[in-house]
Amino acid sequence: MTTGARRAGRTPLRRPNSTRATAFSARDAVHARTATTSASETARLRLPLLGLLAGQGLSLAGNAITMIVVPLYVLADTGSVLATGVAGAFATVPVIVGGALGGVLVDRVGFRRAAITADVASGVTVLAIPVLAATVGLPFWALLALVFLSGVLDTPGNTAKTSLLPDLAERGRLALGRASSAQSAISRTAAMTGAALAALSVVWLGPLNSLVLDSITFAVSAALLAVFVPHRLDAGTTTHADPAAHADPAAQPGQPAVAGYWRELGDGIRFLARTPVIRNLVLMIVITNCFDAAGMSVIFPVFARTISPDGAAFGIMVALFSFGALAGAALFGWVGQRLPRRGTLVVCFLLAGAPPYIAMAAGGPVWATFLVIGLAGLSAGSINPLLSTVLYERIPRTLRARVLGALTAGVSAGMPVGSFVGGLALSQAGLLPTLLAVAGLYALVTLAPLVGRSWRALDRPAG
């Protein structure tokens, strides 16, 4: 009886346990299916963002090839440092023109369509350089004209790609700061890869034939954007809404949604001028870009020729800087959101700007100079994602392309001057005095965010 009672009593105890286990199992299965579906949906939503970043990376890799190949070709062909500076100026003037005038066109045409069109047109103009050189000849003035035209077409394309990022990040449910860091990391990777390819192709193919690789990158970039970025982003933004509906109070609301070209361009410029923290950033970066343009277009190539006759060391220098910047951008994506922005900006600029010029002037071992350049890149890697986050937080979508275009033109305004003055300084004063002057001035300018109340807005997210 006792045994039977126990045996009989066990049965009803097992059923609830079994039922509960079945319920838990079913619930877990539902959660697993939900998680899998959610992950799959997130991946699908982020595919356009990945396509954008891949396309932008390819076109920027091509730009890195051009940046290295053109000054080396001019220096080898003419033997003139001043002519190399002139070529650098012709490469940077279109950034101003294309940035100022192209932003409004991007807003009107639409981000996606403008990006694809610019990539196709830039690829054609770049390909024309080696084609002309191999057929009818390439006089210096023709090279300058093609470099200028390529830059004019390419700059609005970069503005359009940058303008696409916030929309695609929102669609992909990715925080804007992390999306900016990813974009910066891709840009740095592209620069590193392009520089390495340029160094190899200059040795194996010669300078001008290397530009064929550049044209291919533009073609693939256009294809990726056409396939992955949604067509709805082709719609222009100037007719979507009144720009004042979302504008910063400093931008003086009330501008009409559909306005004349020049008024729309003025919208972007006024927004920059009346938003103090952005205005300060533009003024500072105008000056630092002067130094960077002089460095990349003239000073670095001339220094590279002192340690390698074919100038291939220039490609290695750019690749090392870009590799460091890639690591810096990744580091910022990991911890940058928790750091004070103003202090981070000052420290990164101080470590990224002057040290490479000091190292080149010191005349130490080549490996030590390369190490300093790589560490400078590590510091520089945090600058662009930090600045991009500040900008994306403050610029309304309806003004985005024209503001970014005006900003690109503004921060690039000193680059032609920097390239020309850098070439002039090298030809008149020599390499060592030029390196020391750039290092001292660069360090001085990058302390600006420590002075003035308006810089404190960097640490206060907009909205």
Instruction: Give the largest Cα separation in the chain, rounded.
Output: 114
Q: Which residues contact 170 (CB under 8 A, 6 or more apart)?
A: 176
Distance CA 345, CA 350 (A): 9
Q: Closest by alpha carbon to 150, among 210, 67, 56, 236?
A: 67
457/141 Cα distance (integer angstroms): 46
Instruction: State the angle between helix axes of 300-307 and 431-445 in degrees (0 to 180), rounded to the nearest 10.
Output: 140
| Residue type at position 113 | R
Q: Quickly state the pLDDT bin for 138 (edges 50, 70, 90).
A: confident
Sign of the alpha-carbon dihedral angle for 65, 66, 72, 73: positive
**Beta carbons within 8 Å of 410's beta carbon, 6+ residues apart:** 99, 272, 282, 286
Would the pLDDT of 436 be above 80?
yes
Which residues 6+ apart lie within 8 Å of 331 measured at CB?
A: 378, 381, 382
Calpha distance 98→94 (Å, rounded): 6
Residue 329 confidence (pLDDT): 79
- Which of the four pLDDT bands, split at 50, 70 and 90, describes residue 455? confident
Kindly state the helix (H) or strand (E) to which residue 179 belongs, with its residue range: helix 176-204
pLDDT at 260: 62
Residue 25 lies in a domain: no
C-alpha to C-alpha distance for 48 and 52, rounded to whole angstroms: 6
Residue 31, in any domain of the structure: no
Which segment, 73-87, 226-240, 272-286, 432-446, is predicted with the most confidence on average? 432-446
17-44 pLDDT tens trace: 544 445 445 455 444 444 454 667 777 7
Confidence band, pLDDT 50/70/90 cuts, at residue 8: very low
> Residue 234: what pLDDT?
59
pLDDT computed for residue 14 by the predictor: 46
pLDDT given for residue 371 in this prediction: 95
Residue 20 placed within a domain:
no
Question: What is the reported pTM?
Answer: 0.62
Question: Per the domain annotation, does 365 fall within a domain?
Answer: yes
The tally of domains found in the chain comes to: 1
* Res 2 pLDDT > 60: no
Q: Which pair of tokens denotes residue 69? A: 């190949």
Cα(389)–Cα(338) distance, integer angstroms: 13
Q: Is residue 18 part of a domain?
A: no
- Separation CA 398–CA 25 (nearest Å): 50
* Residue numbers of the domain that contains 348: 46-459
Q: Is residue 10 domain-resident?
A: no
Buried-state track 4-35, b at ≥16 Cβ within 10 A, e below 16: eeeeeeeeeeeeeeeeeeeeeeeeeeeeeeee
DSSP tag of 427: H
Q: What is the CATH number for 302?
A: 1.20.1250.20
* Residue 146 clears pLDDT 70, i.e. is over it: yes
Domain annotation covers residue 280: yes
Alpha carbon 440 to chain centroid, angstroms: 26
Q: Is residue 208 part of a domain?
A: yes
Residue pair 170/128 in contact (Cβ under 8 Å)? The answer is: no
- How far apart are the C-alpha atoms of 456 and 93, rounded to whole Å? 32
